[in-house]
Structure 1
Amino acid sequence: MWLLFLHSDLETTFSNINIPFDCEFLIAQETEHDIMLLEIYRASASVELKVEKFGVWNSISGLTAPTGSLSLRRTDLQGITIRAAVLDGKTEYFIPPDGHYGMLENEKWNGLIGMIVRNETDVSITPLIWNKQRNEVVNFIASMFKISVFLQPFSFMLWISIFATITGSALVLFIIDKVWNQHLIKISWFHILSSLSELFLTTFGAFCYQAGHYKTPTNTSGRVVFVSIYLTSVVILCCYSGSLISYIATHYYTLPFNDLEEFLKDGTYKMGVLKSSGDLTYFKDSNNPMIREVYRSFISPHVPNSLFSSYIEGLERVCSQFKYASVFGNDKFTPLSNLECNLHYLPIVQYDMSMTMSKNCPYKQVIGYV
Structure 2
Amino acid sequence: MFFSLPASAQNKNSFESSKNWNPNKVYFPQYSSEARENLTFPKVLGYEVLACDFHTHTVFSDGLVWPDLRVSEAWLGGLDAMALTDHIEYRPHKGFLNSDHNTSYEIAKPIADQVGFMLIKGCEITRKQSTLGHFNALFINDANPIAVDDPKQSIVEAHKQNAFIIWNHPGWAVDTTYIKEFQEDLFKNGLIQGIEVYNNSEFYPRVLAWAIDKKLAIIAASDVHGNVESGVLKSNGVLRPMTLVLTKEHSLSGIREALDAGRTLALFQNRLAAKQDIAKGFVEASLSVKRVFSSEKSKFYTITNLSSVPFMMFFNNSLHELPALCTITFSVPLDSSKINVNFENIFIYENRTLAHDLQLD
Do the two structures share a fold, i.e. TM-score over 0.5? no
The answer to which structure has the higher strand fraction is 2
TM class by smaller structure: under 0.3
TM-score under structure 2 length normalisation:
0.23
* Greater RCO, 1 or 2 (C-alpha within 8 Å, sep 6+): 1
Greater C-alpha Rg:
1
TM-score under structure 1 length normalisation:
0.22
The answer to which structure has the higher helix fraction is 1
